[in-house]
Copies of this chain bind each other. A is one copy, B any other.
Amino acid sequence: MPGERKRVGMVVRLRPELVDEYVERHKAVWPEVRSALRKVGVRNLSLFLSGDLVFMYMEYGGKRPFAEAMAEYVKLPRVAEWEDQMKRYKQVAGGASAETGFSEAREIYHMD
């Protein structure tokens, strides 16, 4: 992994009654969403589920600040539509990203 990559951790709580449907939807993430993530510099992205809690890990290798990359991401084709649909499954907390509903977590340890 190149040293300049930023590791990003994000978290969101799902509506308990919609967890299964959220999982199903992620078996068929739209190709445009995947392309958009890669286009703005995101790699090695994983989503994990524990109860009704989802956390996301990704690596960001772009030159711009991460927030700018995310702002571009949501403007790419079909992304806003996907994210709007995904927001229905989420209990969005204060301080969460308006676009994705995820809250950024703080990295407190790393070992290569």
Query: Chain A residues in contact with chain B, CB under 8 A?
Result: 1, 7, 9, 11, 22-23, 26, 29, 34, 37-38, 42-50, 53-55, 57, 103, 105-112
Contacts and interface: CB of A to CB of B under 8 A. Distances in A.
B109 A46 contact: yes
Given A42-B111, A49-B108, 15 more contacts: A9-B46, A11-B55, A22-B108, A29-B109, A29-B111, A34-B111, A38-B111, A45-B109, A45-B110, A46-B107, A48-B55, A48-B106, A48-B108, A50-B105, A53-B53
Contact of A105 (B29, B38, B48): B48
Nearest to A53: B11
16 contacts: A9-B46, A9-B48, A9-B55, A9-B57, A11-B50, A43-B111, A44-B111, A45-B109, A45-B110, A47-B109, A48-B55, A48-B57, A49-B108, A50-B55, A50-B103, A54-B108
A9 B46 CA distance: 9
A-B pairs with lowest CB-CB distance, top 6: A9-B48, A48-B105, A50-B105, A47-B109, A57-B57, A26-B109
